[in-house]
Structure 1
Amino acid sequence: MSDVRTSPARRLPGGDWSLRTRVAALCGLLVAIILLLAGGAATTALTTRSSLDTLLDDIGPMRTGANDLMQSLLDQETGMRGYALRGGTADLEPYAKGQANQQALTAAIATNPAATATVKEQLAIVTERAEQWRRDVAEPAIALVRDQGTVPAQEFLNQQATRPFDDIRAAVANLQASIVQIRNDSADTVKSSSTRVVWVLFAAAAVVLLGGIGMVLLLQRLVIRPVSDLAAQVRTVATGDYDLEISSPGPPELARLARDVDRMRARIAADLSEVEAARAVIEANNLRLEAQATELERSNRDLEQFAYVASHDLQEPLRKVASFCQLLQRRYAGQLDERADQYIAFAVNGAQRMQRLINDLLAFSRIGRNTAGFTEVSLEQVMTEVTAQTEAGLTAAKATLTWDDDLPVVRGEERLLVNLLANLVSNSLKFRRPDVPATVHVSVARVGDDWEVSCADNGIGIEDEFAEKVFVIFQRLHARETYPGTGIGLAIAKKIVEYHGGRIWVAPSDGPGATIRFTLPATDTADPQTSSPQNGEAPGATHAAPHLEETSA
């Protein structure tokens, strides 16, 4: 891994800016431009609205008032001429109403917010000419009708030209033209403002469009392209090129991600190197294990051959030696001296003990080799068989063997489990106290995924310092003359328990006696905590060997 290759890096403008800063800057610029456009649009809209309000609320009524003003002057002129023709008082009503309307309309136009100085000046001209016409024409004609009748009044009117009233018409026309000009100017302002609003909206749309395009290009340049480049480098590494150094020309976030991925690549490469070294070691170990397995198979064949020789070839001459020694003991007992009889007894005892050692050693070596396979085994049935096998020892020791009711079902070999518990019970009977009736109790408790079996007695007990030695083959804690045996019983028990996947130990005991416990993997076939009592017995009741009732009595 000394040749490390690095992918080409491209430096982007503003490389020190993070992706978040760049996106925020672009978004801020777009928002500022849009806000400026929105402000201009709002100002223009307000101007347009003000112009429309002026046009509709002020200029329109003022233009209508100018038309009505002309109508009120015409009413005055018509009423005055009608009175001059007919002389009726009713004919003067339009004249009076026209004057009242003229005054009201003149005041309304003069106070209108849209009235300019020109409008007010022309309104004053209209008012002045109307007053002059009334003073020079209308009022004298009305006075003539009242004083002299209609004929002199008509003659007076005929003598007067229509020019004074025509001057009024011209003044009103000028007034109306000025108002129309104001309306046209206001309408042009509204049109111009509307046009500006439309252009502002177009500009805002263009800004949004350009901003979107800019955002896409920014993401393409700052995110999509660097991420694609980073993904391509990762795929290259994934194909097995672990020497490729991963880097990213993108913003700081992607650069940090690239560094993290590169550190992971380097760690994987280092781990792979370790794995390859470990694989070489494992392959070498496998070769050694294969050689050891071959040697173990050869040793097992030799062991089986030895077991066969021990069970047949060695047993036969040993039986002859024992038989002839016993024959000498029976036939020549008392005929030789006392020392000869003692020597013959020693030979007989040694031959018999040798036979027991060979048989126990064969039993120990055959555990787990001659197997019939695991099956569902009821510990209740196992204890019944144990009782039958140890019946003679129980009767001789006047002992009591009991066990918990509703013992579970376990997986194992029934023959080996019977041998296991029979060894433990026999061990308890052997190491009983001579002055106390022996009692042995077998109990079972669920501990996690195991059944924990306890065999407790009231014998001489086992000291803590010897708790591990008792399971060593041929290990004895007492003299052969005191407690006979080969010292292999608990070693056989340990091998059976380990063959079933459990463990065995001497439990600490505060009182007299010893408690040996072992575990067996639990199955869900039976659970004394959930099973119902049988034969009317309460849970936790004990079951005693039936043949001991008469003995105990």
Structure 2
Amino acid sequence: MTVSLEREPRRRALRHNRSGAAEERWPLSRMFGVGVTAAALVALIVIGLGAFGLWQLTEARARLLEVGGPSTLAAERLTVALVNQETGIRGAQLSGGSPEFILPYRAGVEARQTQTEIIRRLSGEPGQEAIRDALDGVEAGITRWRVEYAEPVIAGVSPPVEQGRAQFEEVRTDLHRLTDALAVQQQGLRAGLNDSASFLIWIGIAIVVLLASFLVITGIGLRRTVLRPVAELAGEVREVVSGNVQREVRADGPREIVQLGEDVEAMRRHILNDLIDAKSVNRRLDEQARDLERSNRDLEQFAYVASHDLQEPLRKVSSFCQLLQRRYGGQLDERADQYIEFAVDGAQRMQRLINDLLSFSRVGRTTEAFERVDLATVAKSAAAQLDGLREQAGGTFEIGELPEVRGDRALLQQLLVNLMGNGLKFHRDGVPPVVRVDAERVGDNWEISVADNGIGIEPEYAEKVFVIFQRLHGRDRYPGTGIGLALAKKIVEFHGGRIGLDSRSGSEPGARIRFALPADPTDSEEETA
């Protein structure tokens, strides 16, 4: 907690350390805003050019279809109407004024007037003076021919045929001028249509070039302003991640990338400071490990002293007390016999306690003795070791199918001796004890249970019973040192497993101790094969 409180101001300082250079850079939002604006302008230009080209093409096409075509068609119909007039007048002159020839003439006059109005209306725009002049000549010539020749023929007067032919030839000459002028107009309109189409094609090419240029410029700008700074920053970060934590991280480009580089640099400094702190902590841990190693050596020395130097005087005290009990038993008063019995019992209990403590201290020193152990064989050996206690209690052992595991054979046998012995020792009065040993595979572990039909253990003591020297009953009723289950827990944990009290359901008597041991990896390989 102290280290965390010391680091907090430093973290806050690193988090708020922003350079002024970053604030002077354009942010990505502004860059993208400029890019979007430029794209919008380009789009507007492209749309405007395209619309203008299409408008020109549409106008040229409309003029060709609505002016040039109708004018040419009207000129052709005008020619037919004039020819009909001449043919009708000539037939009337030859037939002496027959009405059947007058009708085509009248129809030709009406048709001439209609087509003349159409041509004059379509040629009213500036630049079409030649069409209007030729049309005026045709009108003047046909009017003179009608007044001076056609009307007299209809009235019964016969002017000279040569006069009518000469006047109509003048009309034909003006008509040819009109047709030529209309042809020139038609060519002009077609040329305008072609020019508009060509202009539209060039506009399309310009649009493609403009869009391509914009995309190229955008790509180059994006690469220089965003992608390259990000790639450079990523390269520096990878170099730091690879182990060069002393390298300072610097970033270039828009404001956000520069700020990101500053944040990464702040994080690098923070990690570097944490690394320095971690090295300091590791040094302290190494010192503590060395202290623990020295302490363990002292404990081993103490265990050696306890196993040799302390047990020798205890054996002497126990031996001489037993000699006193055998030689002077019944010769002294009752209180003296009781004192001697207390002394013998205390010495024996002290020896058992020292032996149990030595066994407890030896567990977990090394795994060199680990081998493949058949728990069924170990359980049978433990049962044989407890055979005397079993006969005394009138109990039975039921050993199910047990697996093979890796471990220390002696320690595993001691584990089962303690658990199975507890099942015999804590039996109910008048009920023969039954101890059952079973196993089942649960995931990557073997779970072994040792169950009995004895007095059981209350759930609130499920943790207490595995603490060293913790007893639930007095020595006068159930003898022991209070180390058995603590030693069992240490052996199981030394083998990489766990142990605990399995709560039994309903009114079923007794207790069940369940411990898990890692399964041998070769078992899974054999099952797979």
Counterpart for residue 22 of structure 1: 34
Compared with structure 1, are the counterparts of its residues 374 and 184 closer, same or farther at alpha carbon in structure 2 (3 Å cutoff)? same
Percent identity of equivalent pairs: 32
Q: 2:487 aligns with which of 489, 492, 496?
A: 492
Contact 1:382 1:417 in 2 (8 A): yes
Aligned to 1:397: 393
Counterpart of 1:129? 145
**1:149 paired residue number:** none
Question: Match for 1:298: what amino acid?
Answer: R
Shift of 1:516: 4.7
* In structure 2, distance between residues paired with 1:459 and 1:262: 70
The structure-2 alpha-carbon separation of the partners of 1:513 and 1:344, relative to structure 1 and needing over 3 Å to count, comes to: same
SS in 1 for 2:59: helix
Give the counterpart of 2:496 among 498, 501, 509.
Answer: 501
**Counterpart residue type for residue 178 of structure 1:** L
How many angstroms apart in 1 are the aligned matches of 2:424 and 2:452? 8
- How do 1:110-121 residues align onto structure 2 when only pairs under 5 Å count? 110-112=113-115, 114-116=118-120, 118=132, 119=135
For residues 115 and 266 of structure 1, do their structure 2 counterparts lie closer, same or farther at Cα, with a shift above 3 Å needed?
same
Q: Following the alignment from structure 1 to structure 2, what is the Cα–Cα distance between the partners of residues 268 and 168?
A: 107
Is the helix fraction higher in 1 or 2?
2
Q: Distance in 1 between matches of 2:452 and 2:466?
A: 18
Deviation for aligned residue 1:457: 3.3
Residues 203/258 of structure 1: CA separation in 2 closer, same or farther (3 Å cut): same
2:290 maps to 1:290 = yes
Which residue of structure 2 aligns with residue 38 of structure 1?
50
> Could you tell which deviates more after superposition, 498-507 or 161-170?
498-507
Q: Deviations over 1:44-90 (max 9, x none)?
A: 22332233225664233334345545655775698789x7xxxxx9x
Of 416, 424, 429, the residue aligned with 1:429 is 424
Matched, 1:262 2:262: yes
* Distance in 2 (alpha carbons) for counterparts of 1:425 and 1:194: 110
1:360 aligns with 2:356: yes
Task: Find the counterpart in structure 1 of residue 271 from structure 2.
Answer: 271
Residues 324-349 of structure 1: per-residue CA shift (max 9 Å, x gap): 66566556666777777666656655
Change (3 A) 1:390 1:100: farther
Q: Is the 8 A contact 2:406 2:520 kept in 1?
A: no
Task: Provide, for residues 353-387 of structure 1, a one-character-per-residue CA deviation record: whole Å limited to 9, x for no partner.
Answer: 45434443443333334756444545444443333
1:64 to 76, 80, 84: 76
SS of the residue 1:483 aligns to: coil
Q: State the match for 2:125 in structure 1.
A: none
Higher relative contact order (CA 8 A, sep 6+): 1
CA contact (8 A) 2:435 2:452 kept: yes
Shift of 1:305: 4.2
Query: Taking structure 1 as reference, are residues 335 and 297 closer, same or farther at Cα in structure 2, changes over 3 Å only?
Result: closer
The one-letter amino acid of 2:488's match is A
- Deviations 1:508-529 (Å, cap 9, x if unpaired)? 56758552524213438899xx
The one-letter code of the counterpart of 2:292 is: Q
Letter in 2 for 1:18: R
User: Cα gap change, 1:459/1:76 in structure 2, threshold over 3 Å: closer, same or farther?
Assistant: closer
Please give the per-residue CA displacement for 1:395-447, whole angstroms capped at 9, x wherever unaligned.
221224345x5445544334323322221222232232323333334455666
What amino acid sits opposite 2:268 in the alignment? I
Question: Is the Cα contact below 8 Å between 1:69 and 1:106 reproduced in 2?
Answer: yes
Paired with 2:423 and 2:101, the residues of 1 have a C-alpha distance of: 145
Distance 1:317 1:11, change over 3 A: closer
Structure 2: distance between partners of 1:463 and 1:225: 73
Q: Matched residues in 2 for 1:9 and 1:466: separation? A: 65
Asked if residue 412 in structure 1 is aligned to residue 416 in structure 2, the reply is no
2:119 alignment partner, SS class: coil
- Provide the C-alpha distance between the structure 2 equivalents of 1:472 and 1:10, rounded to a whole number of angstroms: 64
Distance 1:102 1:261, change over 3 A: farther
Partner of 1:455, secondary structure, is strand
Q: Structure 1 residues 426, 285: closer, same or farther in 2, change over 3 A?
A: closer
Q: TM-score of the superposition, structure 2-length normalised? A: 0.73
Write out per-residue CA displacement over residues 483-519 of structure 1, whole angstroms, 9 at most, x where no aligned residue: 3334332232222222222333445567585525242
Letter in 2 for 1:366: R
Q: 1:190-241 deviations in whole A, cap 9, x for unaligned? A: 3234324433543453355345434543554466235534654665675657
Give the total of aligned pairs: 492
Match of 2:72, as an amino acid? G
Partner-residue secondary structure (3-state), 1:521: strand
| Aligned mates of 2:142, 2:312 — CA distance in 1 | 164
What's the offset of the Cα at 1:174?
Answer: 0.9
Q: Distance in 2 between matches of 1:55 and 1:467?
A: 110
Name the counterpart of 1:190: 190
Q: Which of residues 439, 452, 461 in structure 2 aligns to 1:457?
A: 452
CA 1:52–1:99: 2 relative to 1, 3 Å? farther
Give the 3-state SS of the residue equivalent to 1:520 in structure 2: strand
Residue type of the alignment partner of 1:368: G
The 1:337–1:27 alpha-carbon spacing in structure 2 relative to 1, beyond 3 Å, is closer
Residues of 1 paired with 2:141 and 2:424: CA distance?
A: 150
For 1:233 and 1:504, the matched residues in 2 are separated by 52
CA contact (8 A) 2:492 2:498 kept: yes
Partners in 1 of 2:474 and 2:164 — Cα distance? Answer: 167
**Closer, same or farther in 2 for the Cα pair 1:178/1:429, shift >3 Å?**
same
Q: 2:511 aligns with which of 504, 509, 515?
A: 515
Aligned residue identity for 1:52? L
Q: Which moved more, 1:332-341 or 1:434-443?
A: 332-341
Q: Distance in 2 between matches of 1:193 and 1:45?
A: 6
Q: Is the 8 A contact 2:249 2:264 kept in 1?
A: no
In structure 1, the partner of 2:298 is 299
What are the ranges of 5 or more consecutive residues in structure 2 without an aligned counterpart? 1-9, 122-131
Question: Secondary structure of the residue that 1:162 maps to in structure 2?
Answer: helix
Distance across 1 between alignment mates of 2:460 and 2:82? 139
The answer to whether the 8 Å contact 2:372/2:405 transfers is yes
In the alignment, residue 50 of structure 1 is paired with which amino acid? Answer: A
Q: Which residue pairs with 1:47 in the alignment?
A: 59
Secondary structure at the residue paired with 1:394? helix
Distance in 2, matches of 1:10 and 1:366, equals 67
Q: Which has the larger radius of gyration?
A: 1
1:168 Cα deviation from its structure 2 partner? 1.1
2:127 is matched with which residue? none
| Structure 1 residues 400 and 102, CA gap change in structure 2 (3 angstroms) | farther
2:47 is aligned with what amino acid?
Answer: L
